[in-house]
Amino acid sequence: MSLIVQKFGGSSVKNAERILHVAETIAKTYWAGNNVIVVLSAQGDTTDELIDKAEEINPHPSKREMDMLLSTGEQISVALCAMALETLHIPCVSLAAWQVGIQSTSVHSAARIKRIDSERIRSELDQRRVVLVTGFQGVDRNGDVTTLGRGGSDTSAVALAAVFHADLCQIFTDVDGVYTTDPRIVPNARKLDEITYDEMLELASQGAQVLHNRSVELAKKFHVNLEVVSSLEDKPGTKVKEVTKVEKTNIAGVAKDTSIARVALVGLQHNPGVAFQVFDLLSRNNINVDVILQSIGRDETKDITFTVHKKDMEEAERILNDHKSALKFDHIEMDDKIGKVSIVGMGLMSNCGVAAKMFEALYEAGINIQMINTSEIRVSVLLDESDVNKAVKAIHDKFFDDI
């Protein structure tokens, strides 16, 4: 008997009709003789609506209470879906993450799963029940509910698949797989039959909205057999795996991210330890920094420019200004009208012409590059936010039109 983890996203459970459809998919898997663990997201835009509700009352609520609020969305989904399964006479039980024992760190709104207790789920599966688990959340050592960050239900699913050694982890969504880029921007984007964990990880962390990046990290680490499939149509999706057939195209996809902001510290002293002081301060305040650029200025000074998530820009400014006398910089410049476009592919490792081809596409489209950042299998450029979609299209056309 196989064990399959099936995760359904918010749009797949957005109303009664869709939940009944999801229940049929689960029922088919169950009647085929499999054990099934189901992980659900909150219905439709529920999480956003809950955030709006909080804002009406308190623009700066504590993160603990925010987690308490947001975790309710997933609880609604699992209960409703269990009721749908009951109508199909499928034995099932819905469980919140704290009931399972999905133990996490205490970093509210960005908790990490540390351990998953297996007893409860195991005993339910042994009784041939479908187990429906709330995605996106955990419980910390104090018994407080935490959430794993937006999009975190994918991570809940992969973590459960890893702990229970599932034969397959299926992520059902309203697209039918992973595309070379966002089909809403580039209509001739293609669906990939397969993609490596590393490529998927880079794409996910560079703004491709298909999978939560932590979920891909976990899948790679624990060799989870992962698949992104359509919740609407019964057809093959995209398999995420260790190695894929080598593609001639060099890149797997083009991703964009417009949720970033640029912060520049101008006029720092050109001494050892300055970068350490700046980034240590930010990291101690849980502010994630992405692209970093240091440049030498005039008169023994230097500038350090970096990107953060838009939501962290003001906090970064405040923290840095609070330490202005210790850091000894002249002033801070900020820009939240920027975006990042990345190409990702295993082919980048062995083919240096790939980056040049990307820059050529940008040049031909008349787009200025502000910063460049690379990894072994990725090249990212920072651009004006208004150029982002044009850049994605120009780059995608360059790489995918001639094959």
Q: Which residues bind ligand ASP (CB under 6 A)?
A: 9-10, 41-42, 47, 73, 135-136, 150-153
Q: Quote the least distance from Cβ 320 to Mg ion, whole Å.
A: 32
> How many Cα atoms sit within 13 Å of 43 on the Cβ side?
16
310: exposed, middle or buried (Cβ count in 10 Å: 0-12, 13-18, 19+):
middle
CB closer to ligand ASP out of 151 and 345: 151
- Footprint on this chain of Mg ion (rule: CB under 5 A): 9, 151
Q: Which does 10 bind (CB under 5 to 8 A by kind): ligand ASP, Mg ion, none?
A: ligand ASP
Nearest to 345 by CA among 389, 379, 371, 396: 379
CB closer to Mg ion out of 149 and 267: 149
CB closer to ligand ASP out of 136 and 399: 136
**Block residue for tokens 């909205």:** 209
Q: Which does 152 bind (CB under 5 to 8 A by kind): ligand ASP, Mg ion, none?
A: ligand ASP
CB closer to Mg ion out of 37 and 92: 37
Q: Quote the least distance from Cβ 128 to Mg ion, whole Å.
A: 29
DSSP secondary structure string, 325-380? HHHT-SEEEEE-SEEEEEEE-GGGGT-THHHHHHHHHHHHTT----EEEEETTEEE
Q: Which does 110 bind (CB under 5 to 8 A by kind): ligand ASP, Mg ion, none?
A: none
**What strand order describes the sheet that includes 301-309?**
289-296, 301-309, 260-269, 331-335
Q: Quote the least distance from Cβ 39 to ligand ASP, whole Å.
A: 9
Beta strands per DSSP E along 54-210: 92-95, 102-104, 113-116, 130-134, 137-139, 145-147, 168-173, 194-196
Q: Quote the least distance from Cβ 42 to ligand ASP, whole Å.
A: 4
Q: Quote the least distance from Cβ 40 to ligand ASP, whole Å.
A: 9
CB closer to ligand ASP out of 136 and 329: 136
